[in-house]
Structure 1
Amino acid sequence: MKRSVLSLLAFLILVGVKAHTTVSRDKDYAAYLFVYFTGNTGAEESVRYAISNNGYSYYALNGNEPVLDSKVISSTGGVRDPHILRGADGKTFYMVLTDMVCANGWDSNRAMVLLKSTDLINWKHSVVNIQKRYKGQEDLKRVWAPQTIFDKKAGKYMIYWSIQYGAGADVIYYAYANKDFTDLEGEPKPLFLPANGKSCIDGDIIYKDGVFHLFYKTEGHGNGIKKATTRSLTSGKWTEQEDYKQQTKEAVEGAGVFKMINSNKYILMYDVYMKGKYQFTESTDLDHFKVIDNEVKMNFHPRHGTVIPITRKELKALTDKWGKPEGL
């Protein structure tokens, strides 16, 4: 009996510690980091940083100049569509990029860039060229917008991106990264293809209440953002929603979803690329969104990027490196 009571007490203490750790980590977050690129020419196809104290007002670091040299980290000399992820350990960061210079043509790229960091400033990088890495890739036309999510079930980091072969539809594929985050393991496999068999790109997955929510762009047939859900990333069983999630009639791409710190609110942002604008929308259920553009301010013009929360210590390190922006 005594042993059972002690075991129960130990269990309750452990649960309490875990719960406290989770809450404490969220409470440690003090700001937001926006990672983005800015356009289709020269140095615009580079990684840039902006920071925010509240998730609505963003200020570019380094005078809106690149924080990484595209010519060093890529095979083409340019990078686009940066996606950043805080690792499961809470202190390692993973970034993936489209390795591409659009001046070479929209179907010119075959590779992605993988980066890993422990301080958001110094990054180890590698290039994975899908056409060179795998056999049977002669008809590969493009490798677009990679992103990363930690697959808890597999205990690995999943990289997912869109591929087009020949005249076929763009399909979102996935593969797991190796332990060092320098290469892919195994053959890429399809992750998601809408029931209509048409193209989808720019996938962005967020996990909420046991469900994975995939936001994606309907490329070439509407150019808007739709959503599909699943409880298992690799099951192939997705529930699609028919409605578009963007709150504009303009063409959009590059959906990015993030949760507000210590809040039940989620932000869905996207690139209104034909108008040179970015739109922010807000939701508590990831189904219904309202425009909050009047609350958002940026002293730069981003293209397809992502936002993550950062700690006060991480914020200080970034501003120590690139200076504190005026207005922050």
Structure 2
Amino acid sequence: MFGLVKYVRVSSAFLICCFLLTSCSEVELLVHATKQLSRDTEEEIKNHNQGSPVPSGYKVGRAYNIAGIWYYPYHDPKYDKIGIASWYGEQFHGRLTANGEVFDMNTVTAAHKTFALPSIARVTNLDNGRSLLVRVNDRGPFVEGRIIDLSRRSAQLLGIYQKGTERVRVEFVELASLKNVASNDSAYGLDSIEGKVFQQEKVEEALYQEDSLSDSIITDKMTYIQLGAFTSIKNAIRLKDKVSNFGPIQIIKSINNNNNIFKVRIGPLSSGAEVEKVLKNLSDSGFPLSNLIILK
């Protein structure tokens, strides 16, 4: 009898551990989903040491669902939008960001729902004209109408800290260096802007390596239009930039006979009407429909 009780206890502990392990990603998303605008006090909070964990590679990330809304991260070098900025601070200070860095509310960082991580973005306060380069290394804000969540330091520099929210313009600038994190006065950290040594083309290619294919969600309820497939990432990016106005664009990497293949797709498209609309727009623009592949 004692042996049976011991077995049941061990089995229960094992099942609980399995449950916790499989729930990790969901818990992480829940943490990001519960970000709320908070009024932090002016008291000084100890900075983390420079050299906090920096990710080993760039991450576009998987599509994810927050409060019933699907978000599809993708690299958009032409991103330029106007919306509402908010900020977050002490509640998340010291926690890991979506790409594995340590969030320090006293550094020039921000969160965005779809940017490749980490990226550099220019945020302009449309009320006072102040402009700031920020390091985007987290996901959010998940509040309707808001397009970027600033660290407390970023909000202070832009003149948004006291008001809490403000209308801003957000522009993608470039992918951020993996060598260092942001500081309290620069999105580029301790190194000067002139000291950047990484090449943008190699960085962009890194975006579509390793897990890009598995990060793309294709279900029987979604349709994708494949526009082309290339052995060169540069050609794939060139096509992506040309058709960026026709819908959400993805570049998917696959391997065929030990060769990298980069596929340019529009999607996900949720209805036949949406597919027809995109096809018509492509046709009207002179894009040869004979080159297209419909993926369902």
Where is the helix percentage greater, Structure 1 or Structure 2?
2
Where is the strand percentage greater, Structure 1 or Structure 2?
1
Range into which the TM-score falls when normalised by the shorter chain: 0.3 to 0.5
When normalised by structure 2's length, the TM-score is 0.33
